[in-house]
Copies of this chain bind each other. A is one copy, B any other.
Amino acid sequence: MYDGAVQDLIDELGALPGIGPKSAQRIAFYLLGADAVDVKRLADAITTVKERVRFCATCGNVAESETCRICADERRDRSLLCVVEEPKDVAAIERTREYRGRYHVLGGAIDPMNAVGPDDLRIRELMSRLADDEITEVIIATDPNIEGEATATYLSRMLSGVGVAVSRLASGLPVGGDLEYADEVTLGRALEGRRTLS
């Protein structure tokens, strides 16, 4: 519909996740009208991220050197290990400011429908970290959905003979939510995991 370069950009933007043809067009015209400096900064950020960012050799989180910021941090508690699916889950847990241990990023969850099995995840690396390291507790923080639960079950079985404490993030009502609107499974979990107050 458009001349070469504009259409090329719309096609490239439209291939990004969550961006449909209308959004792609909107962004393309925004870039056409934007300052050349700002547009260059965006193009550079895209190029730089591919050149500079890799995955931490220890935990699998995003990193700009051999080891990520968290693994390199000597103040982190080396006895605690939190297992998550993706680097963005690391960021989510870091935002709570409640956790002082380190992480292990699996790179996904067991998902037979999409042909992702245990061997496609960084589970072997996890087991060898547990053998070497001074870790005493593993917190399984996979997503509370079918794939995450399956992964948690698989991991807890794998870890049962290793001699570390294994825990799972609590499921229940989201804070600020409304009991009436909670789905049955969540409400069931909240009941099951109820805490004694007195």
Q: Spell out A's residues near B (CB within 8 Å).
A: 1-6, 8-9, 11-13, 15-19, 23, 25-32, 36, 38-50, 52-53, 62-64, 68-69, 86-88, 91, 94-95
| Residues of the B chain whose Cβ atoms lie less than 8 Å from the Cβ of A18 | 23, 26-27
Partner of A62 from B6, B36, B49, B68 at Cβ < 8 Å:
B6
| Residues of the B chain whose Cβ atoms lie less than 8 Å from the Cβ of A91 | 1-2, 25
Please tell me if the beta carbons of A39 and B32 are within 8 angstroms of each other in the complex: no
Overall SS of chain A's interface: helix
A23's closest neighbor in chain B, by CB?
B18
| Residues of the B chain whose Cβ atoms lie less than 8 Å from the Cβ of A8 | 45, 48-49
Nearest Cβ on chain B to A17's Cβ, whole angstroms: 5
Please tell me if the beta carbons of B1 and A63 are within 8 angstroms of each other in the complex: no
Partner of A32 from B26, B30, B53 at Cβ < 8 Å:
B53
Looking at A3, A36, A91, the one whose CB has the most chain B CB atoms below 10 A away is: A3
- Inter-chain CA distance A13–B31, complex, in Å, is 11
Partner of A30 from B16, B62, B63, B68 at Cβ < 8 Å:
B16
| Residues of the B chain whose Cβ atoms lie less than 8 Å from the Cβ of A13 | 42, 45
Please list the 9 inter-chain residue pairs (A to B) with the smallest Cβ-Cβ separation, ordered nearest first. Answer: A9-B45, A12-B45, A43-B46, A12-B42, A1-B91, A9-B49, A5-B52, A43-B43, A5-B49
